[in-house]
Chain A
Amino acid sequence: QQQVKQSPQSLIVQKGGISIINCAYENTAFDYFPWYQQFPGKGPALLIAIRPDVSEKKEGRFTISFNKSAKQFSLHIMDSQPGDSATYFCAASFTGKSTFGDGTTLTVKP
């Protein structure tokens, strides 16, 4: 049973557009929801995170929207740039252990 489902698997966006990646989780015990960005050949890097008592968090061009009742959260990348081209992973954590989605490969076309 996959506890964190991520979609889409891949995404192509034009420069300046909005990239949206969605995740859904099963376990209501999860209490921390981070997003990671990974470039080829590198380890994932923490991008932004949210707690379930907050509905939205914004850091620069990156925003997490969180819907606790629907058990869904999403990452929005505003004004997407070619440098944002990477693989993005959502995760859900409980007692420090994170369960990851399968990842979304984002390509931003110039």
Chain B
Amino acid sequence: DAGITQSPRHKVTETGTPVTLRCHQTENHRYMYWYRQDPGHGLRLIHYSYGVKDTDKGEVSDGYSVSRSKTEDFLLTLESATSSQTSVYFCAISETAFNYGYTFGSGTRLTVV
């Protein structure tokens, strides 16, 4: 999607290893979000950021951490990957927190074996 890229697009990792997913935006939007998408569960918020070094937890944050040292980059780290974290991860950006929809990236498909 224009203005927001996620890397890698696909990753297979072993249980117990740390994994970092990257979201990069060129829109200079203040708000960034990480969601996971699983069949039958829609999209669930993991963590979000409302500015550089300002982050907060979402509804499914256990086992995940985030960092945002620059406006354009939002990193999601699985501290010790588990099979339950096999999912498709989407990053989203938003210009404001009010009356504004998200622009989503293309997603990272993560498989933990």
Contact = CB atoms under 8 A, between A and B. Distances in A.
Instruction: Give the top 8 A-B pairs by smallest Cβ distance, nearest first.
Output: A96-B97, A43-B104, A46-B101, A100-B42, A102-B42, A100-B43, A34-B101, A44-B104
Q: How many B residues are at the interface, by size bracket? A: 20 to 34
Contacts of B35: 100
Contacts of B70: none
Interface of B: 1, 31, 33, 35, 40-45, 48, 50, 58, 90, 92, 94, 96-107
Main secondary structure, interface of A, reads strand
A4 B107 CA distance: 23
B97 to A, nearest CB: 3
Given A42-B106, A43-B106, A96-B50, A103 B99 contact: no
Contacts of B100: 32, 96
Interface of A: 4, 6, 31-32, 34, 36, 41-46, 49, 51, 89, 95-103
A45 B41 contact: no
A98 B31 CA distance: 12
